[in-house]
Structure 1
Amino acid sequence: MVAEQEQSHRKTRIVSVVAATTISLACGTNYAYSAWAPQFAEKLQLSATQSNIIGTAANIGMYASGIPMGMITDRKSPRLAALIGMVALGIGYYPIHLAYDGGAGSMNVALIAFFSFLSGVGSCAAFQGALKTATLNWPTHRGTATAFPLAAFGLSAFFYTVIAGIAFPGNTSGLLLLLSFATSGVVLVALPFLVVVDHVAGTGYKTVPTSERSRRDSNLLHRTRSNGSKYTSSSSAEPEPNSSQQDDDTDESSSLMSGPGDVVDDTEDAKSTHHSHYLDVTGLALLRHVEFWQLWILMGLLTGVGLMTINNIGHDVQALWNHYDDSADKDFVAHRQLVHVSVISVCSFLGRLASGVGSDLIVKKLQMSRFWCCAVSACIFMLAQVCAIRIENPNLLWAVSGLSGLAYGVLFGVFPALVVDAFGPAGFAVNWGFMTLAPVVSGNIYNLFYGAVYDAHSEVQPGGERSCNDGLSCYRTAYYVTFVSSVLGILACLWGIRHEHVLKKRLEGEHDGHRDA
């Protein structure tokens, strides 16, 4: 009976990860902005700065809503957050589709930016629900479990632009219509299967402590339950099965409450060094910890670099092709824009998947810090900025889009696990919301700076649309700034690695002291 129940729970957890991954596939469509932004700006006669305001509004919606959506996810349910996301995605994209069909003057920039903001809010809400579900259901394999929804998020732009390219070739209106209905529709279909198994109150699950550390964690769990927390740990339906089952149960419980996603058993308790820095710190209490500022600064430095290219690769393509081959028609340039959006999306997908799974291996097998994944991301970003500053041939621009997507994917593949490592899983959604305020600041600054640089080299055509024919000069100055940001990101990663090493030595010393006592 116990085995059957365990098997049933495992199947439900697997299905929930599939549902979370499916929902995430609808949440990364803001990164497809470059696929339709130049055509949208041309038809509505918008400047590059105005176009970047619209794109930045989506980023702000995605990242600034992290805290309120996180509170709903943590305190209510992941499914409610996903439901809110479904509604906001539809309400956000459809008016933008109508504005494009209406042409210049049909809707002012502020209103378009507002609907773009709503599409970002919808992406954030649905993604929060998906990621939280994966985090809770697989506490001892967080890096791997979250890698799948994170990877799907990165693949989202590619998924929808390819479908639009087949169903509506060269039709920006069709792409916007697809984004309006397909994103919310995918969330609606997957929503019933988004179930949290390990943290449903009243399951009657119980963990039997088998070590001193496990007893401490069990006592903490008991106090948490006594204080009315909705989150409870579970792994077995039997209070006292065989001894090996007890060990497995305890590992899952202790990892959920205080571990980084690695399995810790009694035999490795003494030498395990990758514990959460603090137990379930959340909200404004984060601001008192240096680990929060390490992660927040690092995220701001690197996401700003990635967002500038993600939002403006379409303008890069347009500028280089206008200068390189003035015979290239608009349909050809639009197709090249779609190609680069797809390259960014696919490379982001690969980076997220590799980083999420790889970070677990780094922790479990090599006993190293996950920050090394961030260091890899920062180095790839730096290389991408060098390419962006030097490449003048548009046929080679894939190096910029590919490296940028890969670096962005590696960064986001590991970052949720870093946050859980530092502050525990119970308040993860709110904590992630605090972290995603960093891209609001850096992404806004870098995107608007890019728009100002591009506009300074642009000319207004007789029809009212703007274009820049100066090639690399149209935007190169902006990439000097992001190059510096990526170098600072490398230094921030080294700072994090050093701090974690110092903390590990301190914990080892405290552990040895308690053992001797």
Structure 2
Amino acid sequence: MSSTRTVLICFAIGLNAFCAGGMLTFPIMSPSLAAHNKLSQPQLTTIVLSGMMSQYPIAPFVGYLVDRKGPAICSLIAAFLFVFGFGGFAVEVNNTAIEKASLATFYRLTFYFLLAGLGTVFSYCSSLFSASKLFPSHIGLASGASMALFGLSPFFLSVLATNYFTDPITGLLNVSRYMTFLAFLTAAVYTFSALVLRSAPGAADLTVDIRATEGVGPGESTPLLASDSPSLNPPKIEHTTSEILKTGDFWLLAVFCLLTLGVSEMIISNIGGISMSLPHSLPHLMTGPTTRKSSIAFQVNLISIANTGARILVGILADCISPAATYLPTGVLAFPKKPAISRFVFLFGSAIVLLVTFIWMEVGVQSQGNLWALSIGTGLSYSTVFTVLPALISSLWGINNIGRNFGIMMYAPFTGTPLFSYMYALISASHKEEGETICRGRPCWQLTFYLAIVASCISLFNSIILWRRWRGKI
């Protein structure tokens, strides 16, 4: 592949990831939707969940599409989904500023955000697996860089929203104008990317690259796992879905992802409500709408910055101290150099960070000024899991079907995200005072974080088992 072609593909991958985070800026929209459209906390949770959850059921299909047809078609599909999702949302909000809550408006907004969520998974998989297959020997850095740009996307978009689409008097976002902007932006970006990514490497190119490594010396690719009689019974380099589902490693990893990613996405989706439930650090600013709005945007930015930094650093660090293993055509699981530490250590660290963060929520958070630890801790843990997950999945079950296998694993957060999100929404609604649209006070989320502590302990236990099982191997 020529250097010009590689640079152009990298630019398209980066642009894809950088503009894919519109759905994750929902927390800065929620105060406006509550004020102008009279939506309750459970309704706001349902809308954002429709976007978050719609990604996961089709993730195996999208991964398969990238594996077999390439990323260009996924980018084009994302363009259509974003235009109809963001555009429809903008029209609906603009036409329904009301005095009473409308179920019809709620249902339509939920549907439009669902389309935006589908667009997100098409764009995310297009950039992630294009990067992974373009640089298979540096999969940690490649996936980490594309994920970092995806993590930076909400920060970039929230800054634009705050500076150009927010009423300076009320401090509320003009959701209709902002969503219209997102519709035009994503239409242009993903149409352009679809044209460029037609030349991105596909499954055939990857097979050639992997076979080219056969016969390399021990200094370049050290065998990791091989059968006792390779010529008679070589390890499988292709695994069917049923074979993967029968392994204990899959279920340990799936439960870890269900709990860790589920609770993290609950926080990311509802950081606006959590922030508004607490008083501002300065009493004389407690009732200022602009201050409350800027506090929510600040938390969104902290999550985004932590996401971005962790994805870059973890991707580079993982490639240096724990290079990803790959199956050679002979059936030998090999990597460029012997790992200094297992990649499962990163999952262990992620669980520790969440556990400490949630304990802090219970004992140390009394005002919005204390929430920085929750935003940073969630961003760090969430991004670390997603950064190392592609390499872990490719090492366990091969890279040829990484898109499909990654998509199967995404059913875990598909289960965990609504579980924790509705738990938060119902607990919050049960403590809301009559006449209020937003719950106020620590009781709004205190029980939720007690349960999140238990979930983090289970995740920690699972990561230790996986670490011990694959120590010195992956």
Q: Aligning the two structures, in what range does the TM-score lie when normalised by the shorter sequence? A: 0.7 to 0.9
**Residue type at the aligned position of 1:404:** T
Is 1:157 matched up with 2:157?
no
Please tell me whether residue 178 in structure 1 is matched to residue 181 in structure 2: yes
**1:313-332 correspondence runs (5 A):** 313-321=271-279, 325=283, 327-332=286-291
Cα shift at 1:388: 2.0
Give yes or no for the alignment of 1:335 onto 2:294: yes
Distance in 2 between the 1:338 and 1:446 partners?
22
Shift of 1:182: 1.8
Aligned partner of 2:115 among 113, 118, 132 = 118
**Which range moved further: 327-336 or 342-351?**
327-336
1:378 corresponds to which residue? 351
Aligned to 1:305: 263
Distance verdict in 2 for CA 1:388–1:82, change over 3 Å: same
**Residue 467 (str. 1) matches residue 438 (str. 2):** yes
Question: Taking structure 1 as reference, are residues 28 and 295 closer, same or farther at Cα in structure 2, changes over 3 Å only?
Answer: farther
1:296 equivalent in structure 2: 254
Residue equivalent to 1:361: 320
**1:130 Cα deviation after fit:** 1.4
Paired residue for 2:97, among 97, 100, 103? Answer: 103
Return the match for 2:190 from 187, 203, 207: 187
Counterpart selection for 1:136 from 133, 137, 144: 133
Relative distance call for 1:424 and 1:148 in structure 2 (3 A) is: same
- In the TM superposition, residue 337 of structure 1 has moved relative to its aligned partner by 0.6
Q: 1:435 and 1:277, CA in 2 relative to 1: closer, same or farther beyond 3 A?
A: farther
Shift of 1:277: 8.0
Deviates more, 1:165-174 or 1:432-441: 165-174
The letter of the residue matching 2:431 is: H
1:86 and 1:456 map into 2 onto residues whose CA distance is 39
Distance change (3 Å), C-alpha of 1:292 and 1:278: farther
Determine which of 79, 83, 97 is the counterpart of 2:72: 79
Equivalent residues of 1:454, 1:474 under 8 A apart: yes
Asked whether the 8 Å contact 1:378–1:490 carries over to 2, the reply is yes
Q: Decide whether aligned partners of structure 1 residues 186 and 472 sit closer, same or farther in structure 2, where only a CA change above 3 A counts.
A: same
Amino acid across the alignment from 1:444: P
* Aligned counterpart, 1:148: 145
> Which residue does 1:348 correspond to in 2?
307
Deviations 1:201-257 (A, max 9, x none): 5x8xxxxxxxxxxxxxxxxxxxxxxxxxxx63138xxxxxxxxxxxxx833x68xxx
Give 1:40 shift.
Answer: 1.1
Which blocks of at least 5 consecutive residues in structure 1 are unaligned? 1-5, 204-230, 236-248, 255-263, 505-517
Structure 2 match to 1:250: 212
Q: Structure 1's 278 and 23: CA in aligned 2 closer, same or farther, altered over 3 A?
A: farther
- For each residue in 1:323-378, what CA deviation from the matched residue of structure 2 results, as whole angstroms up to 9, or x when unmatched? 98474222221111111101101111111111222111121464321111111111
Deviation, 1:282, is 4.4
**1:274, 1:446 → 2: CA distance?**
41
Q: 2:209 aligns with which of 234, 241, 258?
A: 234
Work out the CA distance in 2 between the residues paired with 1:68 and 1:93. Answer: 23
Deviation for aligned residue 1:322: 7.3
How many residues align structurally? 442
My pick for the range that moved more, 95-104 or 416-425, is 95-104
Judge conservation of contact 1:89–1:183 (CA < 8 Å) in 2: yes
What is the one-letter code of the residue matched to 2:380?
L
CA distance in 1, matches of 2:322, 2:154: 31
Q: Shift of the alpha carbon at 1:29?
A: 2.6
Q: CA deviation at 1:63?
A: 1.8
Deviation of 1:295 (Å): 2.0
Does structure 2 conserve the Cα–Cα contact (< 8 Å) formed by 1:372 and 1:493?
A: yes
Equivalent residues of 1:282, 1:427 under 8 A apart: no
The answer as to whether partners of 2:339 and 2:472 remain within 8 angstroms in 1 is no
**One-letter amino acid matched to 1:156:** S
CA distance in 1, matches of 2:456, 2:8: 38
Aligned to 1:411: 385
In structure 2, what is the equivalent of residue 243 of structure 1?
none
Say whether the 8 Å CA contact 1:49–1:451 is kept in structure 2: yes
- Give the deviation of 1:380 after TM superposition: 1.0
Please, what is the CA RMSD of the aligned residues?
A: 2.6
Could you tell me whether the CA contact under 8 Å between 1:99 and 1:106 is conserved in 2? no
Secondary structure at 1:64's aligned position in 2? coil
Are residues 1:481 and 2:463 paired?
A: no
Matched, 1:280 2:243: no
Structure 1 residues 332 and 437: CA distance shift in structure 2, 3 A = same
TM normalised by structure 1 equals 0.79
* 1:227 corresponds to: none
Identity score, percent: 23
Contact 2:344 2:463 in 1 (8 A): yes
Q: Quickly say closer, same or farther: Cα 1:200–1:72, change in 2 above 3 A.
A: closer
Give TM-score, length-normalised by structure 2: 0.86
Query: After the TM superposition, which of the residue ranges 442-451 and 143-152 deviates more from structure 2?
Result: 143-152
Which of residues 501, 505, 510 in structure 1 aligns to 2:471? Answer: 501
2:358 maps to a residue whose letter is Q
Contact between 2:66 and 2:126, CA under 8 Å: does it hold in 1? yes
